[in-house]
Amino acid sequence: MERTPLIAGNWKMHHGISATGKFLSELEMRISRDAGAKKALEGDFIEMAIFPPFTSLWRALEGKRYLPWLKVGAQNVHWAPEGAFTGEVSANMLREAGCDYVIIGHSERRQLFGETDEQVRRKLDAAVSAGLLAVLCVGETLQEREAGETMAVVERQLMKALVGLPPDEVGRSVCIAYEPVWAIGTGRNATPGEAQEVCQAIRRFVAERFGDEAAMVQRILYGGSVKTDNAAGLLSEPDVDGALVGGASLQADSFAQILAAAL
């Protein structure tokens, strides 16, 4: 079965409302000049998603009026449907706002905000129940890689996050993003071989735990210093179904070039 590649841009805490509007205009211009990309996006042969900060979401969603193929997602979600959780936003609220996707368990949330595997699981459950597609981030630190613990770490994160989901939801509603922590924002990407090795092992893990069907449709992204000059190599690997892009997703031109590399 074919898996639709996903090129996702995690803007982190960048691009307010006016910068988001500028990005969208530039993206529209850039894609209208690239007949191949336009056709692929309009025909759903590939997906492009952006994940702006909360305050810019409405502006990105408004962009769907002239970029109907554009997917929009949030960078975080709370697990409760509502309640006394100052500063948080629920999955139903994101869905109501028009979001398609949500990123869950990004390493910056795990490391800087103390997000635990258990919280990641609850967020994932809430997102999937609300009908959002989740981009679940997993990945090892440099120390863990050097200790030969990459797959143990990745499998633990996956197991703890996915444990409660029905097998058909795993492949259908969750994109797994393999993001080695040492490659995020460092300019040091995994080689295509390193990315493929872990993404292939993730697919094997999904097959063992959730069945061949789930593994076959499971989209697995690579993230960590994906740039215009390394995207084609990483995206040509058979188990890499797309990219989660930070820095290079902030400019419409480089983001569109990464999409073109996936085609």
Supply the residues annotated as catalytic.
Answer: 106, 179
Residue choice 7, 10, 71, 198 for contact with ligand PEP (CB under 6 A):
10
Q: Does 226 bind ligand PEP (CB under 6 A)?
A: yes
Residue choice 31, 246, 258, 261 for contact with ligand PEP (CB under 6 A):
246
Q: What proportions of the chain, in percent to the nearest 5, are helix, strand and coil?
A: 50, 15, 35
Return d(Cα 195, Cα 120) in angstroms, integer: 23
Q: Would you say 124 or 215 has its CB closer to ligand PEP? A: 124
How near is the Cβ of 195 to ligand PEP at its closest, in Å? 12
Residue choice 99, 162, 245, 261 for contact with ligand PEP (CB under 6 A):
245
Q: Does 194 bind ligand PEP (CB under 6 A)?
A: no
Return d(Cα 137, Cα 60) in angstroms, integer: 22
C-alpha to C-alpha distances, 42 to 37, 47, 69, 181, 242, nearest whole angstrom: 8, 9, 6, 33, 17
Return d(Cα 176, Cα 53) in angstroms, integer: 21
Q: How many other CB atoms are found less than 10 A from the CB of residue 256?
A: 21
Q: Would you say 15 or 92 has its CB closer to ligand PEP? A: 15
How near is the Cβ of 221 to ligand PEP at its closest, in Å? 9
> Pattern 125-154, binding to ligand PEP, x per CB under 6 A?
------------------------------
Q: Does 244 bind ligand PEP (CB under 6 A)?
A: yes
Which value, in Å, is the radius of gyration of the alpha carbons in the chain?
17
DSSP 214-240: HHHH-EEEEESS--TTTHHHHHTSTT-
CA atoms within 13 Å, Cβ hemisphere of 241:
25
Quick one: 28 exposed, middle or buried, by C-beta within 10 A (0-12, 13-18, 19+)? middle
How near is the Cβ of 163 to ligand PEP at its closest, in Å? 24
Residue choice 225, 230, 254, 257 for contact with ligand PEP (CB under 6 A):
225
Number of residues that bind ligand PEP (CB under 6 A): 13
Residues forming contacts to ligand PEP in the complex (CB under 6 A) are 10, 12, 179, 184-185, 223-226, 244-247
